[in-house]
Amino acid sequence: LEQQLFGFQFADVKVEAISRASRSTERKRSKVSQAKRLGQFFTPASVASTLVRWSIRQDTDRILDPSCGNGEFLAAHEYAVGIEYDPIHARSASERAPAALVHQGEFFEWASETRERFEAIVGNPPYIRYQEFSGKLRQRALHQAKLFGANLPELASSWAPFVAASSLLLNPGGRIAFVVPAEIGHAAYAKPLIEALCKNFDEVAILAVRKKLFPSISEDAWILFASGYGGTTNSINFVAQEHFIASASFPRPHFQISLDEYLRARGRLRRWLLPAESLTAYEYFERLPGVLRLGSMAEVNIGYVSGANSFFHLKPSEAAALNISTKHLRVSLRRGGALPAARELTSRHVEKWLADDEQVLLLHLRDELHRLPKSVRQYLDSDAGKEARGAYKCRSRNPWYTVPDVKVPDGFINCMSGGDVLLVRNTARCVATNSLHVVTMKPRFDFSDAQNGFKNCLSQLSREVEGHSLGGGMLKLEPREAQSILIPRPSALREIRASARTLQDGLAEMRLWRHIDDE
């Protein structure tokens, strides 16, 4: 990707600067994977023209779209400049917005060289995850974000440095209006970006939109608007809407969130999706001394990463045929779906898996090679073993066949769930893969303390607020999000019951935002 990106020269596509070589390379790539790789999802016309309207103060203002795709934003204003990496889209943008100047090339490279400045910067930057957004391109992007004052971590998705680097190209008093992923409301890297925006603009505003702007992708999209470049603010204006509504200016905020409140909420905006009354109740209970967070009682981590699941997990019949002794095998929980609703994993569950010949036996080898029995060494040297040792995770550990972090936890949490989150006691003493989170209690706390505090509506609501929606009704909890789950002690339960209705209202609202009942 990096080579392709830097191989391009900047060019005005109207003068036919697209080389033949790049055209034929473009053709070879599958359209779908390219759309994903470059984050090519185009903004509906009404959204693009509304964002341009919010950002323009005078007809003579010049706008920039740093990743203009096929030119939807450029077509909404007379004085527009667009940058687009993909030559085919750059050409369409030029055709669609003939008055605009379209440069075909890589935005961060262009931004580091240009002396142009704009009154408004608008668009829908690509959402490319760090695996694809790598090498020199990422270094350059993160460097420009840093110049803006946003110290973004390596794992930041591409949209965040796009917002930061674009802002540097504004004239004083300028505005930005971007379609951004709903991740802005929960991703760890959104916090340094929002803090930097507050240090550089008079007004920072976020509009959460429940109905999907892009029905073809699972991620929700929200809107980020900031005005008065060169100023500062101590608050974020936040508004949530069912549908995106075209309007002359940014809608009136429902909440003015002070930066202190935002930081106290650990840089997460999801709680402001709650109705005001539910938010007040939530914040009252989270401050109550009788309400703990799971992280103060227990450690939550991802399960082990084998690096080659099908090699390292055997069916009982396979282990018998290979003559591998139980001494080298551990029963493993491999899917969140296998967690029992009764919230206790017992030896009876394990017996059933074994009787059904499920692939649940982890090959757990800690000895040096020469100490391992011949049967195990033969399996390691089999074709499957040769393939497994070439897998990335196996290659990068020594010895390749020792799966690290295999521990028996006190319990499990499903990290992804289409319904409610389960906290399950590990009576069966199983281990678990990274399809689940493993929970280990801290000294002084018993697993039943956590389980007893997990069943009420406050804890349930906290799962929705502290986790995040993955689209399609799925709730995802990263370990640090799971550690934020509220666990009331018995002393707080009576008060929680008295507020049950308000908390349930909040729960219903959060479930709407995770599209749990959408078609």
Ligand X SMILES: C[S@@+](CC[C@H](N)C(=O)[O-])C[C@H]1O[C@@H](n2cnc3c(N)ncnc32)[C@H](O)[C@@H]1O
- Residues near ligand X (CB under 6 A) are 38-43, 65, 67-69, 72-73, 83-86, 89, 106-107, 123-124, 126
Q: Scanning the structure block, which residue is given the tokens 């990290």? A: 415
* Closest separation in Å from C-beta 219 to ligand X: 11
Strands (E), 14-94: 63-65, 80-84
* Closest separation in Å from C-beta 469 to ligand X: 20
Distances (CA, A) of 321 to 95, 314, 330: 66, 10, 17
* Closest separation in Å from C-beta 117 to ligand X: 19
- Rounded to 10 degrees, what is the CA torsion of 196, 159, 252, 56? 90
The neighbour count for residue 10, using CB atoms within 10 Å, is 14
Decide whether 65 or 119 has the Cβ nearer to ligand X. Answer: 65
Measured in degrees and rounded to the nearest 5, phi and psi for residue 468 equal -150, 155
User: What single-letter DSSP state applies at residue 402?
Assistant: -
The burial of 240, by beta-carbon neighbours within 10 Å (0-12 exposed, 13-18 middle, 19 or more buried), is given as buried
Q: Kindly provide the b/e burial profile for residues 121-142, where b requires at least 16 CB atoms within 10 angstroms of the residue's own CB.
A: bbbbbbbbeeebbeeebbebbb
For the record, the structure tokens of 6 come out as 């830097």
Residue nearest to ligand X (CB): 69
Decide whether 61 or 106 has the Cβ nearer to ligand X. Answer: 106
Decide whether 5 or 475 has the Cβ nearer to ligand X. Answer: 5
Decide whether 157 or 233 has the Cβ nearer to ligand X. Answer: 157
Least Cα distance to 228 among 202, 208, 246 occurs for 202
The neighbour count for residue 380, using CB atoms within 10 Å, is 19
* Closest separation in Å from C-beta 211 to ligand X: 17
The DSSP element (H or E) to which 162 belongs, if any, is: helix 159-167
Rounded to 10 deg, the angle between the 135-148 and 190-200 helix axes is 40
* Closest separation in Å from C-beta 205 to ligand X: 19
* Closest separation in Å from C-beta 122 to ligand X: 8
Decide whether 68 or 503 has the Cβ nearer to ligand X. Answer: 68
Decide whether 123 or 185 has the Cβ nearer to ligand X. Answer: 123
Decide whether 126 or 409 has the Cβ nearer to ligand X. Answer: 126
Cis ω for the linkage preceding 153 (within 30 of 0): no
User: What single-letter DSSP state applies at residue 209?
Assistant: E
For the record, the structure tokens of 516 come out as 């749990």
* Closest separation in Å from C-beta 176 to ligand X: 13
Classify strands 118-123 and 170-181 as parallel, antiparallel or unpaired. Answer: parallel
* Closest separation in Å from C-beta 66 to ligand X: 7
Decide whether 168 or 406 has the Cβ nearer to ligand X. Answer: 168
C-beta of residue 87 within 8 angstroms of C-beta of residue 23 = yes
Q: Which residues contact 129 (CB under 8 A, 6 or more apart)?
A: 157, 158
* Closest separation in Å from C-beta 46 to ligand X: 12
Least Cα distance to 316 among 303, 331, 327, 305 occurs for 331
| Maximal C-alpha separation, the chain | 80
Instruction: Please give the distance of CA 211 from its chain centroid, rounded to a whole number.
Output: 19
For the record, the structure tokens of 353 come out as 């898996």
Decide whether 83 or 100 has the Cβ nearer to ligand X. Answer: 83
Decide whether 82 or 185 has the Cβ nearer to ligand X. Answer: 82
Decide whether 137 or 226 has the Cβ nearer to ligand X. Answer: 137
* Closest separation in Å from C-beta 473 to ligand X: 24
* Closest separation in Å from C-beta 128 to ligand X: 7
